[in-house]
Amino acid sequence: MKLKTIVLLSLSVLSPAHAAMNHSRMIMDDKMMIMNANPDKLPQDCPKISENVDITIRAGHKHALKFAGKMFAFDQQEWNVKPCAKINITFINDDQIRHQLMVHGLPGYLYPDGMVHLELYGEGQLQASFIVPSQKKTYLVHCELPQHAEKGMKAQLKVDGGDGDLPSIPGISAPVNADSYSVEWTMNTWITLAICIVFGFALPLVIIMNAASAKALVVSLWMSLKTRWKRNS
């Protein structure tokens, strides 16, 4: 996939036929999209790149199983890097559906709309790099598809320890609007609950009583057979 991305970049520059694949700092085909990748342009407050950080981020339903009530998630919910770090992301989609990885709040003079965007349509992986400023800050990382972030696909990237935790990060911070699984207490609900309670108490008693009766029957048969055997002998 890395080679595929490099080839797309080269074709978009050299071939007019592929120019539509790379416009407004966007590279895309029928499988993936990268927007605003920045492997080499330094932010204004960075004299040089402080470190190269390789981060692999997986996205999918199975990563949400550790969070109650969530449907999608990244395999990690937080990353910490130094100021002016160059971050090399390998984004892996473990599902058959579309997932995105978006980093928000970056400086607009380097990243249009203040964001870096990676997107995959189904299983696969994608690579892109970007450079963070020197500011101590916590950046939002999420999937912007409808309900994906609300259902758990949300994380945070901290530069120099960050400036606090963002809300509603699974496993890290409390939700702004907690999921509610309230029960509507109608007459049918109460009847169902009463039946469950009755059966919950009655069933163990029936099993115990039947077990005792069965044991008594077996003992009685055994004694009867034993008596007959003695008589015949």
Model confidence pLDDT, tens digit, residues 14-33? 333 334 455 558 899 999 99
Q: Which helix (H) or strand (E) holds 35?
A: strand 32-35
Residues 6+ apart with CB under 8 A from 130: 36, 37, 38, 39, 86, 87, 89, 103, 106, 111, 116
Residues 6+ apart with CB under 8 A from 109: 44
The confidence score (pLDDT) of residue 185 equals: 83
CA distance 101 to 106: 14
The pLDDT confidence band at residue 114, using thresholds 50, 70 and 90, is very high
CA distance 76 to 18: 35
CATH, range 2-159: 2.60.40.420
Give the tokens for residue 112: 């249009």
> Residue 85's closest CA among 123, 39, 116?
39
Give the pLDDT mean for 98-116: 96
- More confident of the two residues 188 and 140: 140
| Distance set, CA 45 to CA 74, 163, 171, 184 (Å) | 30, 18, 33, 56
The pLDDT confidence band at residue 153, using thresholds 50, 70 and 90, is very high
Q: Which helix (H) or strand (E) holds 217?
A: helix 187-232
Helices and strands in the chain: count of H runs, count of E runs: 2, 12
Give the pLDDT mean for 132-142: 98
- More confident of the two residues 212 and 60: 60
- Average pLDDT of every residue of the chain: 86
What 3-state DSSP class applies to 73? strand
Give the pLDDT mean for 228-233: 72
The pLDDT confidence band at residue 103, using thresholds 50, 70 and 90, is very high
CA 30 from centre of chain: 24
pLDDT single digits (tens) 171-191: 999 888 776 767 778 888 888
Strand residues in 82-214 grouped as ranges (E) = 86-93, 98-104, 115-121, 124-131, 137-142, 154-159
Give the pLDDT mean for 129-135: 98
Give the pLDDT mean for 193-206: 82
Q: Flag whether pLDDT at 13 surpasses 70.
A: no
The confidence score (pLDDT) of residue 21 equals: 56
The confidence score (pLDDT) of residue 168 equals: 94
The confidence score (pLDDT) of residue 233 equals: 66
